[in-house]
Every structure is written in structure tokens, then in C-alpha cells.
Chain A
Amino acid sequence: MRDRLRNVLAGVLEVRPEEICADMSAEDVAGWDSLRQLEVMLALELEYGVRIPADAMLELQSVPAIEEFLTEHGAG
């Protein structure tokens, strides 16, 4: 997984970047609740300059899903 994404997730979820692994999803992280989900999405938009539609904001709840979205949208 790219360091850039790792750092964004770690910053919002208040964990160390090493704790973010490639197949992680919201259920695996204690603090990754619905509020954090929105904050993760806003942080990704700022970092990658993408616009995430409302439905995707709810669905992108794992590292693989986020990576796929970013690749599809030509970011990162």
C-alpha cells in the first residue's frame, strides 16, 4: 500500500501508520466509526484532489475499496 494513503488514514484514525495494513476495513479499527468514515473521505479528497460522491462515501469502508476508487479516478 502506498505511504501517502497510509499517512492519510493514520492521521484521521489516530493510529500509527504501521498499524494500517493493506486489507484493513472499518470493522478492524476501533475508532473507524461513521464519523471517522466521513472524516476519512474528506481527508482523501483534500490529499488527492478527487470528489467522492455521497454513495461512495458510505461504501469506501476498507483499504482495498479506497485504493480501487483512487485508481479508477486516476489519483495516486
Chain B
Amino acid sequence: MSRLPTAEEIAGRRRQGLELTRVERPEATALHVLATFNLDLLPPFLTEAFDRVGRSVRPRAGAFGQLTQEILDPASRLYAEPPDEVLIVPAAEDLLEPLFSRPPSQLGPDEAEALVEERLAELRGLVETVLERLPAASCYVVALGATEGPHPHVLDPLAPERRQVELDRFMRGVRELRSLGPRTVVIDWDWHMRSFGWDAVRDERLWYLGRMRLNPTGCAALAELVARHAAAYRGQARKVLALDLDGTVWGGIVGEAGLGGIEVGEDGVGLAFQDFQRELVKLQETGVLLVVCSKNNPADALEVFERHAGMVLRREHLAAERINWQDKATNLRDLAVELNLGLDSFVFLDDNPIERTWISQACPEVLVPELPDDAAERPAFLRAASWFERIEATAADRGRSASYREQRERRQFERTSTSFEDFLSSLEQEAIIDPVHEGSLSRAAQLCQRTNQFNLTTRRHTVAELESMSSDPDHDLFTLTVRDRFGDNGITGIAILRYAGELAEIETLLMSCRILGRKLEDAFLAFLARRAADRGASVLEGTFVRTAKNAQVETFYPDHGFERAEDGVYRLTLTQGAVESPASIMVTVPANA
């Protein structure tokens, strides 16, 4: 968060939030707010901020100061109507009150440290209780931080009066609540608010009159931060950043100024372009695919990448390129096909407002931000943007670009193989099937949220839902990991089986487009059929739920021997070898499955 909302924006957001509350929104889910202080000003801002990230929530503020009671009492309002999300906002001043009210002569460093540990353990216990009693909810914990220590007049940061050591330890402990599992998301307010500071977000009068630690500005900023985390938690981030070159990646026009005439380097505005490139590379490292979409002579542009000493962005960072004189909308559509992703995964950055307007009109699914005119503002602009925010970068995220590169090599290889069968066996494919476990939950949820094309039912399960299903004996959740001679594709498929007596239903079956057309879907389905039979089922059942994007799997079940019943459900009688596993794929299954 780099900018606080203005007074007008705050008033407008509050009004918008209240208006949304008044209209009937059956899809809205409950968000329960628990704080150690009064946050009654927050709900309309939450409603509005979630609406902006495409979510509909009904926030309800618990009685302030009763965080502990509400969590511990099973009959409290928190559990009466189980919320989908719980927001916990503990202020250090409230939880560590003795640290602020008692001088070091009465509460020495050792006792202070013990107090911090004790309160942290209590807080951890409370979050655990919420996770346990609300097995489908996600829990956002705000690391709020203290406005200031008890003795700001003592300046040395390690002076015992300042209690800074203990407060730092407390903040670290709150951040470590993340280790409670994927359903716990820590929102680091203390870090995010460094750019604006406490003075802008508190009002002493509201504290004395209403026990409020955040003023409306603070509530608006907190709401926005929570909504951004919630969106990231649900995997709503964009995946591709499409870049113009002249004036965007470097200063000037290479076709006119030549290699030596463009701006990118260690000084002046050139450094701003270089820093902008550094931000691009950082995005690439966390899984964002960088692609070039520019109007240049390819030779001119590629020469910059290959020969300009100031370039930080290299060709190996790019997942695909379209450098030509075609219309950019056509190029973007082409790139979407090449990457097997929808245009709604794209963000397009171009310094030319005419190109931006054109893309907004021609490809309305593409997000087209207003790139600041001044190159000096752009690195910070990119840092503050929320389009690519995710809770954490999974191993699959980090390796994504590399896997697209490997994919290009596979295609080359395919062209040199004599037959398709030949090609498949020479790929030396290995399909590793594992039950979903804590380490794979967040990747599994990410795939459920993102996979559009090879997805039979398109059920957008969250981490919380997957976690609760994986602990239910009537469900089996599996991930598919694929390796071949070119590398590791990571987890690229998910299947969920639901058992009811003789029947096993394929609740979810999805695979990333990257690995399609290599018979891995046959191997995965064959495994599911075997697994269902082992669990005592005699019939395997699947449904195809049509969406705008999954036409390619419409005939998946009939193609694999399933019969379509009158109710539209596909059924397969499970006999020996009902689904054949392709000989070219080595399948590794877990010992217990």
C-alpha cells in the first residue's frame, strides 16, 4: 500500500459499502471481525473493498474487547452462523497491557519476555480454536503493531524502558501464526503502513471517546489490505504481464535512436528504466509470465536484449515474444493461445495511451493500467500494484517460466520424432500421484481456482474446503506430478473422489493445459478407476459441468468408455482394466493408495 485514500474517497467508499449492505446479495458470505478494540467503523469499508476485488461479503463486527470470550464460548455469535472468513485484529497495547503500564522496575526484561511468550501462546491457542471449530473458514490475523512504545522519550532502541525488544518479539510471534497452516493468513499491517505511518490513521479523540484505535482513514486502509489478502488467498491474481518495449522497458525508440541512443543504465532516467526491469524480473521469479508485445523490427529489439549492457531483463526471462508490426490485440490473442491461458490472465503495460485505449476496447478482459508518464515513478508503481499478489510463491510458481521454456523445447523435439507414439515413449514421462497433504494444499487450491480448460466440474475449492475434504474418510484427494526428460512440471493435476457405498464419484478432475495431449489424463483416470475399485466401488461416476471455457473435455468421459445415463451423469462399471493406462507413462502411486 503506497497511498492512503483521500477524504473524498473515504466518504465515497463508506457510502458505497452502506449501499451494498442495503441490497439483497444472496451470494454474500459472512466475515466475522474480532478485535481487542472498537472496530465498528470498519464493516462498510470491508464490504466496499471486497466488492472491488470481486467478492461479496457481509462483515459483522464482534463485541469489541471480547475477542477471547467470543472464540472460547461455543455458544457465541461467532459460531451461531458459521462465517466463511474470520478477521482477528489484536492490538499489542491491549494484549501486552502491563508492558505499557508498568515500568521496568516493576516488570523487568525477563518478566516482560515471559509475558510476551504467554500472550503469544494464548493468541495462538485462540486461532487454533477458531480453525478447529470452523473447519471450513479461513482466518486472517492482522499483525497490527503498537503505535509506539511506552517510553518514547528514551531514545536508544534497546533501552529497557522502550520495550522495543519485547514488542519486536511479539510482532514476530504474530507473524509466525502463519505456521498454523494454509488457512491462516497473516496480514502485516505493521509493515504495510510504514509508507504512511500511524499519525495518518489514528485519532486520539476516537480512542478516548470510543476506544477506536483506527480512524476512518485507517479503517479504509485496513479494509483494502484485508480484501487484497483475501483475493490473493483465493488465487485471483493475474498470471501474465505483456510488455511494450520502446518507452516502456527502455527509454526512447530503438528503431530511431539506435542501440546507443536508448535510455537504460546506471544513471538518471536510465536507472529508473533499469529499476523497472528489476521489478519485472522479481515478478518473473514469483511465477508471473513476462511476454513482449511490441511494434519493432525484431532485429532491432533483439539486439537490445542481446547487446545492451544496461539491460537487466534478458530474453530468458520471457515466456513468449510477439515483436512485429501487427495490431497488438491480435498479438495478445496469439500469446494467449501460445501460453494456453485466457486473456483475463493478462496485464498489459504500454507507455502509449492510444495503444492502451485500443487494447481496453479490443480485449476488455485484459487489465490495462495507466502507466505513469514519468519513468521515475514507474518502479514504485509496479511495486504497489496488486495484480499479481499471492500469499506465497509455491515451487510451481518459481519454476513456471522455466517450464514454459522446456515446453518450447518439447515442441521442437516433437517435430523431430517420427511418430506420436515414438515421441511419447521418448519423453520418458513419469506420473506421480499423491494424496493431497499439508504441503500441497495451497498448490491444489491454486489449481482449482485457476484451471479453466481441462476441468470437468470447475469447482473453485479453497484451501479450507480442500483441507476439510481431505480429513473426511469419504473423500480421496490426489495430486498429479509430472516429470519427463526435459524437467519437472510440478503438480499439474487434481482429482477428488467421493465415495457413497458402491458408487465412487469424480467430484473434481482437472489438469493444467501444459501437460495435455500426452496421454497423462488417461493415466490419471486409470489410476482413479483402480483406486475406486480398491475402495470397494463397483461404479465410477463423472459429470461434465459446462463453462465458457471447458468445451475441450465435453467428450472426455464417453471417449473413455463411460455411458451417459438419462440424468446426464456418465457411469463406468469398474471391471479389471476398465480404463487402460498408457504403456508409455510410468505411474508412481503412494504406498497406501
For window 199-236 of chain B, which residues contact chain A by CB distance below 8 Å? 203-206, 208-210, 212, 215-216
B7 at the interface (CB under 8 A from A): yes
| Cβ contacts under 8 Å, A14 to chain B | 18
Known A14-B18, A39-B41: A46·B11 in contact at CB below 8 Å: yes
Report the Cα distance A54→B203, complex, angstroms.
10
| Cβ contacts under 8 Å, A43 to chain B | 11
Q: A35-B41, A35-B210, A58-B209 provided; 10 other pairs, C-beta below 8 A? A: A11-B15, A38-B206, A38-B209, A42-B215, A43-B11, A46-B7, A52-B205, A54-B208, A54-B209, A57-B205
Report the Cα distance A54→B7, complex, angstroms.
20
Chain B residue at smallest Cβ distance from A43: B11
Nearest CB of chain B from residue A51's CB, rounded to whole Å:
10
Using a CB–CB distance below 8 Å, which chain A residues touch chain B?
A: 11, 14, 34-35, 38-39, 42-43, 46, 52-54, 57-58
B84 at the interface (CB under 8 A from A): no
Categorize the interface residue count of chain B.
10 to 19
Nearest CB of chain A from residue B18's CB, rounded to whole Å:
6
Report the Cα distance A38→B203, complex, angstroms.
11
A57 touches B41 (CB 8 A): no
Nearest CB of chain B from residue A71's CB, rounded to whole Å:
22
Chain A residue at smallest Cβ distance from B210: A38
| Cβ contacts under 8 Å, A35 to chain B | 40-41, 210
| Cβ contacts under 8 Å, A11 to chain B | 11, 15
Nearest CB of chain B from residue A43's CB, rounded to whole Å:
7
The listed residue with most B CB atoms (<10 A of its CB), out of A11, A14, A42, is A42
| Cβ contacts under 8 Å, A54 to chain B | 204-205, 208-209
Chain B residue at smallest Cβ distance from A12: B14
| Cβ contacts under 8 Å, B204 to chain A | 54
Report the Cα distance A43→B12, complex, angstroms.
12
Chain B residue at smallest Cβ distance from A46: B7
Report the Cα distance A14→B11, complex, angstroms.
13
For window 29-54 of chain B, which residues contact chain A by CB distance below 8 Å? 40-41
| Cβ contacts under 8 Å, B215 to chain A | 42
For window 174-213 of chain B, which residues contact chain A by CB distance below 8 Å? 203-206, 208-210, 212
Report the Cα distance A52→B210, complex, angstroms.
15
Nearest CB of chain A from residue B390's CB, rounded to whole Å:
35
